[in-house]
Amino acid sequence: MKILVTGSSGLIGSEVCSYFSKHGHTIHGIDNNQRAKFFGPQGDTTWRLKELLATLPSFIHHELDIRDRSKVLRLLQDLKPDAIVHAAAQPSHEKAASIPFVDFEINAVGTLNMLESVRQTCPHAPFIYMSTNKVYGDGPNKIELTEFATRWDFANPKYKNGISENFPIDQCIHSLFGASKLSADIMVQEYGRYFGMATCCLRCGCLTGPAHSGVKLHGFLSYLVKCNLEGTNYKILGYQGKQVRDNIHSEDVARFIKCFFDAPQQGEVYNLGGGKDNSCSIIEAFELCEEHSGKKQVFQYSDENRIGDHICYYSDLTKIKSHFPQYCLHHTLSDTVRQMTEVIKLQKN
């Protein structure tokens, strides 16, 4: 197959390139290193692009901005790919508030540019969109919670497996990032239902793995592992550091995408994350990092939480597992932190 991946130098894009290349497919990647423009040198993904070019014989890079509608269409006319993974984005809620137009133009309009080009050139190709759990806004914060020694958890047994795809999306704070991603999410569903295309939104929890160029504003675990190894002070923002996230290794995301390409559906929506088993609070994440590095985490605490930040969120994986019973996660949270610790140590030496 010929697979087109946007955001191909980023965490998910690069993992998908690597995964499908190893399975014998030809990969075309689109990335313009916008992450460095968002976050400065620490967000620069050139190192990852160089790795892909050096290690994947079937990888072709296209330096292209997905906001450039005519160039996107021209590339799609040339390539007519068999499948598309759309992972390019402005990925941070806090950043979005300071660049609302850029955020919307990349996340919402950039996605529409991709969808429409695919519809005009290769309408039968399955299209995966990397959506986010922020489409549910801060709605999950309205669920009654129980406070434990190191984490918050849902008190209502209805949420014992986490947040499902039926959770409401209206009347809550999404952050501008959540709103631009939700606009794209709805458009991806619409192209599936209105035009009959094989589109899929993956509403993800925290995505992580050694390929992340983690920065303070995005890539929580990758950034935390770096802070731990460098002895940098990590600032906890509110909720006593007991806020819970579920974490999934980028390779487990790529493995699901393969399942979808093998059995595509139209306009589907799945919550995808590490689930309750791979969830942790910030202070539990400190413990994990310390376990693997042997270094104590330095931190400071501020009572001021991020606007709209989830207090407790983990993905209910019931739907995705029922549609794809053969799919399961290969990487535990502890294993992922170990891998990231090893890779970041190597990069520093």
Ligand X SMILES: NC(=O)c1ccc[n+]([C@@H]2O[C@H](COP(=O)([O-])OP(=O)(O)OC[C@H]3O[C@@H](n4cnc5c(N)ncnc54)[C@H](O)[C@@H]3O)[C@@H](O)[C@H]2O)c1
Q: Which one of 3, 5, 17, 30 is in contact with ligand X (CB under 6 A)? A: 30
Q: Specify the DSSP class assigned to residue 127.
A: E
Q: Does 11 bind ligand X (CB under 6 A)?
A: yes
Cross-strand pairs, 208: 249
- Residue located via tokens 């460095």: 36
Least distance in angstroms from the C-beta of 296 to ligand X: 25
Least distance in angstroms from the C-beta of 214 to ligand X: 9
Least distance in angstroms from the C-beta of 83 to ligand X: 17
Residue 46, SS3 per DSSP: helix
Considering beta carbons, is residue 100 or 231 the nearer one to ligand X?
100
Longest dimension (CA), the chain: 57
Q: Does 317 bind ligand X (CB under 6 A)?
A: no
Considering beta carbons, is residue 14 or 147 the nearer one to ligand X?
14
Q: Does 108 bind ligand X (CB under 6 A)?
A: no
Residue ranges of alpha helices (H) inside the chain are 11-22, 34-39, 46-55, 69-79, 93-98, 100-104, 110-121, 175-195, 220-230, 250-262, 282-293, 318-323, 333-348
Distance of CA 15 to the CA centre of its chain: 11
Least distance in angstroms from the C-beta of 294 to ligand X: 26
Instruction: Give the whole-angstrom CA distance, residue 12 versus residue 86.
Output: 10
Site for ligand X in 65-94 (CB under 6 A): 65-67, 87-89, 91
Least distance in angstroms from the C-beta of 203 to ligand X: 8
Least distance in angstroms from the C-beta of 87 to ligand X: 4
Q: Does 339 bind ligand X (CB under 6 A)?
A: no
Q: Does 45 bind ligand X (CB under 6 A)?
A: yes
Q: How far is CA 265 from CA 23, 117, 126, in A?
A: 22, 19, 8
Site for ligand X in 197-236 (CB under 6 A): 204, 206-207, 219
Considering beta carbons, is residue 155 or 307 the nearer one to ligand X?
307
Count of positions on this chain that bind ligand X (CB under 6 A): 29
Q: Single out the residue of 9, 86, 88 nearest to residue 44, CA to CA.
A: 9
Q: How many helices (H) and strands (E) does the chain have?
A: 13, 14
Least distance in angstroms from the C-beta of 328 to ligand X: 20
Instruction: Give the whole-angstrom CA distance, residue 341 versus residue 185.
Output: 33
Q: Does 35 bind ligand X (CB under 6 A)?
A: yes
**Burial grade of 170 (CB within 10 A; 0-12, 13-18, 19 or more):** exposed
Q: Does 178 bind ligand X (CB under 6 A)?
A: no
Q: Does 267 bind ligand X (CB under 6 A)?
A: no
Instruction: Indicate the residue whose CB is closest to ligand X.
Output: 10
- Cβ–Cβ < 8 Å for 30, 45: no
- Residue located via tokens 């990349």: 106
Least distance in angstroms from the C-beta of 119 to ligand X: 19
Q: Does 12 bind ligand X (CB under 6 A)?
A: yes
Q: Does 137 bind ligand X (CB under 6 A)?
A: no
**Residues of the shown chain interacting with ligand X in the complex, contacts defined by CB under 6 A:** 7, 9-13, 30-35, 45, 65-67, 87-89, 91, 106, 110, 130, 132, 181, 204, 206-207, 219
